[in-house]
Amino acid sequence: MQFERKKNYFITLEGTEGAGKSTALKFLHSALLKAETPVVITREPGGTLIAEEIRALLLGEHSETMCSDTELLLMFAGRAQHLTQLIRPALAAGQWVLCDRFTDASYAYQGGGRGIAEQRIAVLESWVQQDLQPDITILLDLPVEMGLQRIIKRGNLDRIETEQQAFFQRVRDCYLERAKQFPNRFRIVDASQSLAKVKEMLQGIIDELVNSNP
């Protein structure tokens, strides 16, 4: 499956809890720098001062329950700020953008996990992003049980990480369904493999992107 030849790429990294996104993000960043690629690394929710404040609100514990619609709208509020202040300007300047989570996470967590209809999320996606989509989405996939064991060992769980196993199973199922729906954009990496094997697969994706660069 060949990438469209472009000057720069918008790459997103997705996965359920415990999939190793932080480690993968550092490796991808390093691989792009070694390839002498101008890259901006960022995350969602977050990425700008205002969006990071929204992140703290989303992931923190509260004395009242945050309703699903509030969660979804806050996610897209942060995304609107992120796109305007960081992602679009970086892409316009010819930089690559490597983002830890993006809109696929909204479909997976607020859609699959919370049960919000895909059509409602799509309305916000169209409004906030217009025609902007990632060029490539790397999905770190592993069994939910394995991921939960990893984050429990790590400790300091945020509000979303304390959800039940069934919630995360729905999230994973939604991610895999989106990968089937958008096969040209998604690359699935088996995150249950050894770290060396995961890095080998990630390097292969980066090599393909860099070699396709005009």
**Poorest-pLDDT segment among 27-31, 125-129, 136-140, 145-149:** 145-149
> At residue 136, does pLDDT exceed 80?
yes
Q: Output the 3-class SS for the chain.
A: CCCCCCCCCEEEEEECCCCCHHHHHHHHHHHHHHCCCCEEEEECCCCCHHHHHHHHHHHCCCCCCCCHHHHHHHHHHHHHHHHHHHHHHHHHCCCEEEEECCHHHHHHHHHHHCCCCHHHHHHHHHHHHCCCCCCEEEEEECCHHHHHHHHHHHCCCCCCCCCCHHHHHHHHHHHHHHHHHCCCCEEEEECCCCHHHHHHHHHHHHHHHHHHCC
What pTM does this model have? 0.92
Tens-place pLDDT, residues 71-118? 999 999 999 999 999 999 999 999 999 999 999 999 999 999 999 999
**What architecture does CATH give domain 10-212?**
3-Layer(aba) Sandwich (3.40)
The pLDDT of 168-197, averaged and rounded, is 96
pLDDT for residue 62: 83
Tens-place pLDDT, residues 18-69? 899 999 999 999 999 999 999 999 999 999 999 999 999 998 888 898 999 9
Contact 75, 120 (CB under 8 A): no
Confidence of residue 152 (pLDDT cuts 50, 70, 90): confident
Confidence of residue 163 (pLDDT cuts 50, 70, 90): confident
